[in-house]
Amino acid sequence: MNILDQKFAEFHELPTEEKIEYFSKNGRLFDMIISQQLNREIIDNIYEITNRIRHISKTRAGSFFLQNILFHKRVMLYFAQPSSRTFLSFENACHILGMKTSEIRDARVSSEVKGESFDDSLRTFSSYTDLIIMRHKGQDMAERAAWLMNTRTNRPVPIINGGSGSDQHPTQAMLDVYTLQYSFAKQGGLDGKTIMMCGDLKRGRTVRSLSYLLKNFEDVKIIYAAPQAFQMKEDVCSFLEKHKIPFHIETEALDNVLSEADAIYMTRIQDEHDAIAGESGKTDTSRFKLKPSDMTKIRPSAIIMHPFPRRDEIDVAIDSDPRAMYWRQERNGMWIRAALIAYIFNVHEEILNY
Ligand code: CP
């Protein structure tokens, strides 16, 4: 372990509240690393900006206006793990705001293959750009990048976590909650709703970030539906208990709880995290898939979500059901990410006043 590894390990052990301070500057959101950084005021503010950007983008004049907002800023998209949605939605969000983008989509084309460390690579990206948006297969690497910027560089740039290991994916949770609020707009929003999450809850970073973010809403209930081997980890369950958010664990079958949910959030098995290749396949997940015959058991007002990519957790025949919200959900990601970037750069008032 080198000196940086030791110092980061000390930082990593700090209480979450101290880290949240650390990821802020002048009392404002600077880095976006974990869902716990977001309170209701920030969430509502970002959703208001999202709605404005969506609306303004509809016209040519509006698009020109938005493209001037961050015309002077450059962004690095460092995606050292495969991505379709997060990469493309962030790239297009940056373009909506006029930012110039650079990218590394595969660590094999970075000087990391010559032995350069992650830390040196990140410092290099920050030499040329004003924001780093990153995805990494390693645990806590976005947190490490933010720590590195704040302690080891003269030119710290904000870090946005586009998915780190099996830990968190906070901007996915932001677009998920936006989709929930939008879908339930005529039913009082997300407050008072029951959200069921199904699939690989143990290693799914989207469901972890979403669970943390739900703390900001009133009377929300959670159902975790997965075989025991893929059930939600203790850290998230303890968080929910601490914040008095009721949750129910279902390990037998999705069928048992389908009718109780206002939102059904399906996820795939994250077998890229298998310690031994193929070990996920040893657990029977057949009773945790959504089939066309299940649609009569789901509430008429319920919505079906998925962060994607999917395999066979949701039968494609369900795509044409009006309750299937996952295609709209992924498009929402572009708007919400543009709003988040505008908020971090503190240019959102211009957008709200347009
Ligand atoms: N939801 C999500 O993170 O998708 P990608 O892996 O395609 O970015």
Ligand 1 atom at shortest distance from the alpha carbon of 87? 8
Instruction: Say how many Å lie between the CA of residue 85 and the centre of ligand 1.
Output: 5
The Cα–Cα gap between 174 and 337 comes to 9
Cβ–Cβ < 8 Å for 110, 81:
no
pLDDT score at 92? 98
The Cα–Cα gap between 10 and 184 comes to 42
- Would residue 169 show up in a list of annotated catalytic residues for this protein? yes
Considering the entire predicted model, what is its pTM? 0.97
Cβ–Cβ < 8 Å for 254, 293:
no
Instruction: Say how many Å lie between the CA of residue 7 and the centre of ligand 1.
Output: 31
- Would residue 323 show up in a list of annotated catalytic residues for this protein? no
Atom 6 of ligand 1, nearest CA residue:
83
Ligand 1 atom at shortest distance from the alpha carbon of 82? 6
Q: What is the pLDDT along the chain (354 residues), one digit of tens a residue?
A: 899 999 999 999 999 999 999 999 999 999 999 999 999 999 999 999 999 999 999 999 999 999 999 999 999 999 999 999 999 999 999 999 999 999 999 888 999 999 999 999 999 999 999 999 999 999 999 999 999 999 989 899 999 999 999 999 999 999 999 999 999 999 999 999 999 999 999 999 999 999 999 999 999 999 999 999 999 999 999 999 999 999 999 999 999 999 999 999 999 999 999 999 999 999 999 999 999 999 999 999 999 999 999 999 999 999 999 999 999 999 999 999 999 999 999 999 999 999
pLDDT score at 116? 96
Please classify residue 244 by burial: count the beta carbons closer than 10 Å to its beta carbon, then call 0-12 exposed, 13-18 middle and 19+ buried. Answer: exposed
3-168+333-352 and 170-331: same fold?
A: yes
Instruction: Say how many Å lie between the CA of residue 2 and the centre of ligand 1.
Output: 33
Which among 123, 169, 215, 268 is annotated as catalytic? Answer: 169
Which among 19, 50, 73, 86 is annotated as catalytic? Answer: 86
3-state SS assignment for residue 118:
helix
The Cα–Cα gap between 285 and 252 comes to 10
Widest pairwise Cα distance in the chain = 59
Which among 58, 60, 108, 114 is annotated as catalytic? Answer: 114
User: What is the token pair recorded at 8?
Assistant: 């980061």
Instruction: Say how many Å lie between the CA of residue 165 and the centre of ligand 1.
Output: 13
Helical ranges in the chain per DSSP H: 3-12, 16-22, 40-56, 60-69, 85-96, 118-128, 141-152, 170-183, 205-213, 234-242, 326-344, 348-352
Instruction: Say how many Å lie between the CA of residue 344 and the centre of ligand 1.
Output: 22
pLDDT score at 1? 85
Ligand 1 atom at shortest distance from the alpha carbon of 307? 1
The Cα–Cα gap between 11 and 5 comes to 10
Cβ neighbours of 132 (radius 10 Å): 23
pLDDT score at 107? 85
The full set of domain ranges for the chain reads 3-168+333-352, 170-331
Long-range CB pairs of 101-107, under 8 A, 24+ apart, other chains included:
101/74, 101/75, 101/76, 101/77, 102/74, 102/75, 102/76, 102/77, 102/128, 102/129, 103/76, 103/77, 103/78, 103/79, 104/76, 104/77, 104/78, 104/79, 104/80, 105/77, 105/79, 106/79, 106/80, 107/80
Which among 19, 52, 73, 85 is annotated as catalytic? Answer: 85
Q: What kind of architecture, by CATH, is found in domain 170-331?
A: 3-Layer(aba) Sandwich (3.40)
Which of 83, 174, 332 for a ligand 1 pocket mutation test, highest count of atoms within 8 Å of Cβ? 83
Atom 1 of ligand 1, nearest CA residue:
307
The Cα–Cα gap between 221 and 241 comes to 12
Which among 135, 144, 193, 268 is annotated as catalytic? Answer: 135
3-state SS assignment for residue 170:
helix
Instruction: Say how many Å lie between the CA of residue 86 and the centre of ligand 1.
Output: 5
- Would residue 86 show up in a list of annotated catalytic residues for this protein? yes
Instruction: Say how many Å lie between the CA of residue 181 and the centre of ligand 1.
Output: 21
**Residue ranges around ligand 1 (CB below 6 Å):** 83-86, 163, 172, 307-309
Which superfamily is assigned to 3-168+333-352 in CATH?
Answer: Aspartate/ornithine carbamoyltransferase (3.40.50.1370)
3-state SS assignment for residue 306:
coil
Ligand 1 atom at shortest distance from the alpha carbon of 86? 8
Ligand 1 atom at shortest distance from the alpha carbon of 308? 1
Q: How many helices (H) and strands (E) does the chain have?
A: 12, 11
Least Cα distance to 161 among 139, 137, 133 occurs for 133
